[in-house]
Amino acid sequence: MAWFRKDKTGLAQQEKKNIPEGLWTKCKSCGEVVYGKKMEELLWVCPNCDYHFRITSQRYIELLLDDGKLELFDLNLTSKDPLKFKDSKKYPDRVKAAQLKTGKKEGVTSGIGHVNGIKVSFAIMNFEFIGGSMGSVVGEKIARAIERSIEMELPLIIISCSGGARMQEGILSLMQMAKTSALLAVLAEKKIPYISILTNPTTAGVMASYASLGDVIIAEPKALLGFAGPRVIQQTIGQDLPEGFQSTEFFLEKGFVDKIVNRKDLRSTVTSLLRYMWIN
Amino acid sequence: MGTGPYLEFEKPIAELEKKISDMKDFSIGSDVELSGEIASMQKKLDKLRTEIYDNLTRWEKVQLSRHPKRPYTLDYINAMSTDFIELHGDRYFGDDNAMIGGFGMIDKQKVMFIGQQKGRDTKEKLFRNFGMAHPEGYRKALRLFYMAQKFNVPIVVLIDTPGAFPGIAAEERGQAEAIARNIREMSRIKVPIVVIIIGEGASGGALGVGVGDVVMMLEYAWYSVISPEGCAAILWRNAIHAPEAADALKVTSPDLINLKIVDKVIKEPPSGAQNNLQEAAEYVKEAILGALDELKETPVDILLLDRLQKYRHIGEYDE
Ligand SMILES: [Zn+2]
């Protein structure tokens, strides 16, 4: 399901371009060249075409939560190697490399914070951690975030960014889709709101579970969203894909997201929604 | 038995079968007494068969799950139930022929059958889209799950798919949303759900109808987050490494028992279900009725709690 990771012509390359470096940054989407400091002010959104560069989990926490404060939970959850999985690398080595690269133990940061004074259970996926792939720990941290919502009666906000299930944990990673979705059914029965926020990219196992199950689903402009990866589809049907296929805009047109929201408006949009859905 | 097509590892069996059959033909038209010889070769054949099938690699089992003569969902339904009434359509878009469903009777037990359906010849394969459902297939399944709940009929899901279809139309109609919704809703359906992987259980395409109280698989079926070829294409950069990927992913029935994902393995007739549909269907039927006996006695609130807990605890991590 995590189809993208060795796709040199696709996202992997895009990912590199997305990491801001140097004084000037070239927009991946339109080619516009923007001064780096200016990009920081623009929240890494291209002033010419609205393309949203990937930003860190920490940056989103600062953008969305009051005082940029998140009381962190489940910090010590780390992956095991249940399958003793080895391809060109051993799975534990991949995890270690990702930990060094990100300074995080796993691909989800989660906890409790406030959005304009409204207390929420919050979780965000980190694409830099093995492509945001969902293994046992990612599934467990999302599950616990949902449980905190249920037990403490807090609205749930999840920011997704993932290529899908983590192949190196095999069937256990597939089952995280069921684990998280089953808990979301309980959350829904309690009438506690869940806002799902989709960023570039959200696909496969994550898109086919909790990312698609928000009461409200909002997405950043021009993100890649879908079930199957573009290359898999291309190979299956043997023809080129239409322009804009599997983008946020395509998802809006087809009826699978509620709203495209620019990063600068994320906080105000979430606040408005929570006032309707949660605050009397 | 004894007519092809054969898989690579079946070739020694095929050769010996041919020898025996030739000898039988010869003995009919001649006075030479060969029955002793034939009997001894038959013994040798049985031994060879056991040897080969007891030592199949994971990749060989994956191939067996795709055997051209392997029974498909409707074969099992027709073999083990009477008065099957197929129901069509998702009521929104259309009818997906890769996903079938309807009421059936297993002995005196009413059930709602759901499952992916593959085709046998080229024309039928295309008609069934190789058992790869579109969103309307998952939505048809969901409609039938709700109906089963409404009329208090237990659900039996037979899974056999190389995956949910990856295509333009599938994306346009929300493949991810359809699967996600099914997974969530199946976790709360208020009747027993028995899931059996009868052939291929690939990824979200399988799980999209695969949440249940009891999950079983046939001896030579496979179940995985991704097909061995798909995994090999990504991690080994070439699908020819599928045998290594099958080993790494641990996709066979003993693996899934070890990983505690599957509750029970349903044994197949000697050398696989393709050799004896009636016998295979008998085993499947026994397994379904056995599972339902217990589930039917379970109060609904306990049933749902157990189902939630079953999935809640899947995953391995340190803390
Ligand atoms: Zn741009």
Q: What is the CATH number of the domain that holds A218?
A: 3.90.226.10
CB contact set of A237 (below 8 Å; sequence gap of 6+): B167, B168
Most A CBs within 10 Å, among B139, B175, B314, to test the A interface? B314
pLDDT score, position A184: 98
Nearest to A246 by CA among A231, A259, A261: A231
CB within 8 Å: A80 and B317: yes
Counted domains in chain A: 1
Tell me, yes or no, whether B319 lies in a domain. Answer: no
- B21/B83 same-domain check: no
- Residues in chain A predicted with pLDDT less than 70, given as ranges, are 1-22
User: Tens of pLDDT along B146-199?
Assistant: 999 999 999 999 999 999 999 999 999 999 999 999 999 999 999 999 999 999
Q: How far is A270 from chain B (nearest CA, A)?
A: 22
Count of beta carbons in the 10 Å neighbourhood of residue B314: 21
CA A169/CA A80 separation, integer angstroms = 9
Tell me, yes or no, whether A272 lies in a domain. Answer: yes
- B118/B198 same-domain check: yes
- B188/B40 same-domain check: no
Domain containing B34 equals 8-55
User: Tens of pLDDT along B117-138?
Assistant: 999 999 999 999 999 999 999 9
pLDDT score, position B2: 46
Tell me, yes or no, whether A44 lies in a domain. Answer: no
pLDDT score, position B26: 84
Q: Does the beta carbon of B184 lie under 8 angstroms from any beta carbon of chain A?
A: yes
Tell me, yes or no, whether B1 lies in a domain. Answer: no
CB within 8 Å: A174 and B230: no
- B287/B209 same-domain check: yes
CA of A34 to the centre of ligand 1 (A): 9
- B29/B143 same-domain check: no
Most A CBs within 10 Å, among B136, B222, B250, B317, to test the A interface? B317
Whole-angstrom Cα Rg for chain A: 18
Domain containing A94 equals 56-277
Tell me, yes or no, whether B104 lies in a domain. Answer: yes
CB contact set of A239 (below 8 Å; sequence gap of 6+): none
3-state secondary structure of B214: strand
Q: How far is B3 from chain A (nearest CA, A)?
A: 32
Tell me, yes or no, whether A43 lies in a domain. Answer: no
- B30/B173 same-domain check: no
- B45/B77 same-domain check: no
CB within 8 Å: B176 and A227: yes
Counted domains in chain B: 2
User: Tens of pLDDT along A107-152?
Assistant: 999 999 999 999 999 999 999 999 999 999 999 999 999 999 999 9
Tell me, yes or no, whether A176 lies in a domain. Answer: yes
Tell me, yes or no, whether A182 lies in a domain. Answer: yes
Taking the whole predicted model, whether its pTM rises above 0.90 is answered as: yes
Q: Does the beta carbon of B288 lie under 8 angstroms from any beta carbon of chain A?
A: no
Q: Does the beta carbon of A23 lie under 8 angstroms from any beta carbon of chain B?
A: no
Tell me, yes or no, whether B148 lies in a domain. Answer: yes
Q: How far is B2 from chain A (nearest CA, A)?
A: 35
Tell me, yes or no, whether A163 lies in a domain. Answer: yes
Q: Does the beta carbon of A233 lie under 8 angstroms from any beta carbon of chain B?
A: yes
User: Tens of pLDDT along B7-44?
Assistant: 889 899 999 999 998 888 888 777 777 788 888 999 99
Between positions 81 and 100 of A, the ones with CB within 8 A of B are 82-83, 85-88
DSSP string, A133-170: -B-HHHHHHHHHHHHHHHHHT--EEEEEEESSB-GGGH
pLDDT score, position A15: 44
pLDDT score, position A37: 86
Q: What is the mean pLDDT of residues B254-265?
A: 98
**Strand segments (E) across chain A:** 24-26, 33-35, 70-72, 78-79, 108-115, 118-125, 156-162, 194-203, 216-219, 225-226, 259-260
CA B140/CA B94 separation, integer angstroms = 9
Nearest to A158 by CA among A108, A222, A106: A108
pLDDT score, position A18: 52
3-state secondary structure of B112: strand
Of A170, A246, A256, the CB nearest to B177: A256
- B35/B130 same-domain check: no
- B42/B120 same-domain check: no
C-beta of residue A91 within 8 angstroms of C-beta of residue A85: yes
The size of the A-B interface in CB pairs under 8 A is 205
Residues of A in contact with B221 (CB under 8 A): none
- B81/B194 same-domain check: yes
Tell me, yes or no, whether A156 lies in a domain. Answer: yes
CATH number, domain at B176?
3.90.226.10
Residue B3 has pLDDT above 70, yes or no: no
Residues of A in contact with B247 (CB under 8 A): none
Q: What is the ipTM of this complex?
A: 0.95
- B49/B74 same-domain check: no
Residue B91 has pLDDT above 50, yes or no: yes
Tell me, yes or no, whether B2 lies in a domain. Answer: no
- B25/B131 same-domain check: no
Tell me, yes or no, whether A248 lies in a domain. Answer: yes
The token pair that represents B104 in the structure block:
């059936």
Nearest to A72 by CA among A148, A171, A18: A148
